[in-house]
Structure 1
Amino acid sequence: MPILFRISLRIAGNEEAAEDLCHDALIKMTEKNMQFPSLNDAKYWLIRVVINASLNYAKRKGRERRAYERALKEDKRTVDSGETALLKQDAVARVKTAMDKLPPNLRAVLHLKEYAELNYKEIGRVLGITEGNVKVRVFRAREQLSRLIGEDDVYMP
């Protein structure tokens, strides 16, 4: 399912890992011989499993990266090919940093809305909350992101 891959890729940040996490979720569903009342129920269950697995993967990789950086005292400087590339990288980094500062419940709805391209009703079913609650969380998440980033401080090509 492309939607599972997109969600996992956005959270995990690694194509191979995203493929593996999606594959593992599908295997888990077949091994447990799970039965769902409808195809949509199966879809939402798989999305929830992939989100949780991807979040766990991202946390684990973050801890490993920090441990390596401390152990090796790696130089974090990068060489860029030009001003535009630098501005784009800075914008992406600022957005990711701001997203990481959001509470998990707000971050989850933004991931599902913007990267998985789910509608409010689908997000509500995935997270087990009402459609109205999803709308409120998306609004609050976007509001907090704009405060954290500053609307004029991000490079937009």
Structure 2
Amino acid sequence: MSSTASQAARLYVSEHGRLARLIQRIVRNRAVTEDLVHDSFVKLIDRLGAGTGISDKEAYLTRIAQNLAIDHRRREREHLSLDEAGLFELADARPSAETVLADRQALLCTLAVLAAMPPRTRRAFEMHRLGEATLAQIGVALGISTAHAGRLVMDGYRTLRDGLRAAGID
């Protein structure tokens, strides 16, 4: 093993935990912390391999780690400020013409299926789905048992589902 590699290996063993804690306090993300610790050692090895005379390798490594962590935070803040500026909301949020047409067709189909339902089934379904009435409340309003009200509501859902599927709408 070369002198540079053995120095880096010894430093890695002795300094990894300390650098990880330092970087973690800055970036507050474990995965990013580990990446930046490794990047710090790679940069140090590059400097050592280039023959740069570094007298205090631990201090130099600490400075590399701090700089990488601060740069990461800066990039993260810039990204957040772009989001906060609303730059990503420039796209038109309105649905496309195709979506509007498909929704209108689905609504017309739904209204046709509802109109074709037996009156009690439609009433029970509408009370449940639109009026948010409980099955007990539906039963009282229609003068039927709660179980019968449940069957009517389920029939309404099935009829609507089947009608929409028959029209090719899912």
TM-score, structure 1 normalization: 0.44
Of the two, which has the highest radius of gyration? 2
In the superposition, the TM-score normalised over structure 2's length comes to 0.41
Relative contact order (C-alpha < 8 Å, sep 6+): which is higher? 1
